[in-house]
C-alpha cells in the first residue's frame, strides 16, 4: 500500500515492522509490531535491555498524508535495564518520552512555526497551541545544543522593546553571518554580562569589533569584559540623534513664534528630515520657499546636511579634522539642541571615530530587529519573555532542526 511505503521511507523503523494499515473516521491507522530479531533498548540510557512485558496499545499522531490524519498504533514493551537498575518503557524511535506526536510531526510543526503564527499552525494541523509551543522549544533546545557558532569576529548589540512600559530584550547578532547568537531579558549591565559569560574567554579574545548604541551600561560592560576589542558606535543611532535634535529645533521655534509661524511650517517635519534626493516635487518646492526665510530650523537643516560629509571620509584623522570644524559650527549656531548633540559627539568622539578604523554598523541589526518586531505582531504578542526569546532564536538564529529521515515542509 502507498501509505505503508511512505511510512517505511520517512520513519526510522529498525526493530519494528508495519503489520496493517486501516482507515476509519479518525484517519489512517498504521499498526506496528516489534521485530523479535532486535533487542529492545531502555528509554533512559539507550542501552539494550531485557524484555519484561507488553503494555496497552498507544496512538501516536504522525504527519498528515494529503490532508488525511495519520496515526501510529503500537503496544510498547517494558524492559528491565541492568544499567539503570529498574523497569522502564522501551525506547521508541519515532517518539520521545510520553509524547503522543511523532518526531517527524514535531519537526514539521516547528518548521511551519518559522513562517506562520503558532495559533495558525495549531489550527492547520488540528492540535493545541501548547503542542506547537512544545515543538518549537524542543527544536530550539536541539538547535542551541548543536549549532556551530564558528569564529565570532564582529558582533552587533541592540535592544528591542518587547511590550509597552520599557520592557526590553537585548539581542546580540553576528554581523558576518547575519544571525541571532544570543538574546536575554532586559538591557542592564547584568544582561550583557550574561552574554559574555555565555561566550567564554576564548571566544571573547577573537572578537575584533563590537557595534552598539551609546547606552552607558553596554559601554561599561564591553570595556570591562572585552577591552581588546574595538568599540564602534552605530552610525544609524548617531544619525537618529541628529534627526531628533533637528526636529527639536523645529518644535522649539513653533512654541516661540506662535500660531502664525505654526501655519507657515505646518506639515513640514519630513521636509527637514528627509534626504534631499528623496523629497517629492511638492516637498522640494516647499523647502526652497522656506530656505529664503531667516528661520532657526533652516540653520539646523544646513548643519544636518553638512554633517553628512563626515561619513564620506576614509581615514580617522581627516574625519576628526572635519568633526572639529563641524563641532565649532554647531556650538556657535545658537541652537541648544544642536549644541547638545555636538557635545554628545565630543564625549564619545574616540568610539565614533572607530567607525573609520573598523567600518561596521548596525544596519544588519536594525533589519533583523524589524524581523523581530514582525515576530511579535505575527504571534499577537507573547505573554512571557521566555516564549518570545525562544521564538527569536527559532526565527532569527538559523538553528539546525532535529534530524529525521525525511524533511517535511
Q: What residue segments make up the domains of the chain, in order of their start?
A: 1-100, 154-234+361-396, 235-356
Q: How far is CA 355 from the centre of its chain?
A: 25
Hey, what's the cell of 36?
Answer: 523479535
Residues 6+ apart with CB under 8 A from 327: 342, 345, 346
- Answer whether 0.85 is exceeded by the pTM: no
- Looking at residue 380, its pLDDT comes to 59
pLDDT (0 to 100) of residue 35: 84
Query: 305-333 in b/e burial notation, b at 16+ Cβ within 10 A?
Result: eebeebeebeebeebbebbeebbeebeeb
Least confident of 110-114, 241-245, 259-263: 259-263
Please tell me what DSSP assigns to residue 49: -
Pairing mode, if any, of strands 68-74 and 27-34?
parallel
Structural element, H or E, at residue 17: strand 16-24
Residue 6 CB burial class (10 angstroms; 0-12, 13-18, ≥19): middle
How many angstroms separate the CA atoms of 347 and 344, rounded?
5
Alpha carbons 74 and 89: distance in angstroms, whole number: 12
pLDDT at 9: 66
Residues 281-326 pLDDT 10s: 888 888 887 877 778 888 999 999 999 999 999 999 999 999 999 9
Q: What is the mean pLDDT of residues 59-66?
A: 85
The CATH number of 154-234+361-396 is: 3.30.420.10
Q: What pLDDT is attached to residue 83?
A: 87
CA dihedral (374, 396, 387, 157) in degrees, to 10, reads -90
Q: How far apart are CA 247 and CA 333, in angstroms?
A: 15
Distance of CA 272 to the CA centre of its chain: 33
**148-182 residue pLDDT tens:** 888 889 999 988 887 766 778 899 999 888 899 99
Asked whether 55 and 77 are in contact (CB, 8 A), the reply is yes
Considering only 180-184, 256-260, 404-408, which range has the smallest mean pLDDT? 404-408
Amino acid at each position: 500500500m502507498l501509505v505503508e511505503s511512505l511510512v517505511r521511507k520517512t520513519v526510522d523503523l529498525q526493530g519494528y515492522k508495519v503489520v496493517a494499515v486501516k482507515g476509519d473516521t479518525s484517519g489512517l491507522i498504521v499498526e506496528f509490531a516489534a521485530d523479535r530479531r532486535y533487542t529492545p533498548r531502555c528509554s533512559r540510557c539507550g542501552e539494550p535491555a531485557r524484555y519484561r512485558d507488553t503494555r496497552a496499545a498507544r496512538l501516536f499522531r504522525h504527519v498528515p498524508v494529503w490532508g488525511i490524519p495519520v496515526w501510529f498504533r503500537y503496544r510498547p514493551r517494558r524492559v528491565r535495564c541492568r544499567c539503570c537498575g529498574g523497569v522502564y518503557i522501551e525506547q521508541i524511535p519515532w517518539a520521545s518520552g510520553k509524547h503522543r506526536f511523532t518526531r517527524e510531526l514535531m519537526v514539521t510543526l516547528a518548521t511551519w512555526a518559522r513562517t506562520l503564527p503558532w495559533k495558525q499552525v495549531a489550527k492547520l494541523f488540528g492540535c493545541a497551541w501548547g503542542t506547537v509551543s512544545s515543538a518549537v522549544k524542543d527544536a530550539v533546545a536541539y538547535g542551541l545544543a548543536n549549532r556551530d557558532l564558528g569564529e565570532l569576529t564582529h558582533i552587533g548589540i541592540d535592544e528591542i522593546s518587547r511590550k509597552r512600559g520599557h520592557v526590553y530584550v537585548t539581542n546580540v547578532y553576528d554581523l558576518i553571518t547575519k544571525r541571532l547568537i544570543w538574546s536575554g531579558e532586559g538591557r542592564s549591565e547584568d544582561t550583557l554580562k550574561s552574554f559574555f559569560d555565555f561566550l567564554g574567554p576564548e571566544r571573547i579574545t577573537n572578537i575584533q569589533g563590537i557595534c552598539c548604541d551609546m547606552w552607558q551600561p553596554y559601554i561599561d560592560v564591553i570595556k570591562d569584559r572585552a577591552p581588546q576589542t574595538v568599540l564602534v558606535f552605530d552610525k544609524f543611532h548617531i544619525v537618529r540623534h541628529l534627526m531628533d535634535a533637528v526636529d527639536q529645533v523645529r518644535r522649539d521655534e513653533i512654541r516661540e513664534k506662535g500660531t502664525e509661524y505654526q501655519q507657515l511650517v505646518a506639515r513640514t517635519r519630513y521636509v527637514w528630515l528627509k534626504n534631499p534626493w528623496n523629497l517629492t516635487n511638492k516637498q522640494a518646492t516647499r523647502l526652497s520657499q522656506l530656505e529664503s526665510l531667516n528661520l532657526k530650523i533652516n540653520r539646523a537643516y544646513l548643519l544636518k546636511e553638512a554633517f553628512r560629509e563626515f561619513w564620506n571620509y576614509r581615514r580617522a584623522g581627516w574625519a576628526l579634522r572635519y568633526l572639529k570644524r563641524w563641532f565649532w559650527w554647531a556650538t556657535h549656531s545658537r541652537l541648544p539642541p544642536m549644541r547638545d548633540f555636538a557635545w554628545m559627539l565630543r564625549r564619545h568622539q574616540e568610539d565614533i571615530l572607530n567607525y573609520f578604523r573598523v567600518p561596521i554598523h548596525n544596519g544588519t541589526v536594525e533589519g533583523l530587529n524589524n524581523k523581530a518586531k514582525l515576530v511579535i505582531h505575527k504571534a499577537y504578542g507573547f505573554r512571557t519573555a521566555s516564549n518570545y526569546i525562544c521564538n527569536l532564536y527559532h526565527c532569527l538564529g538559523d538553528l539546525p532542526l532535529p534530524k529525521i529521515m525525511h524533511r517535511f515542509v
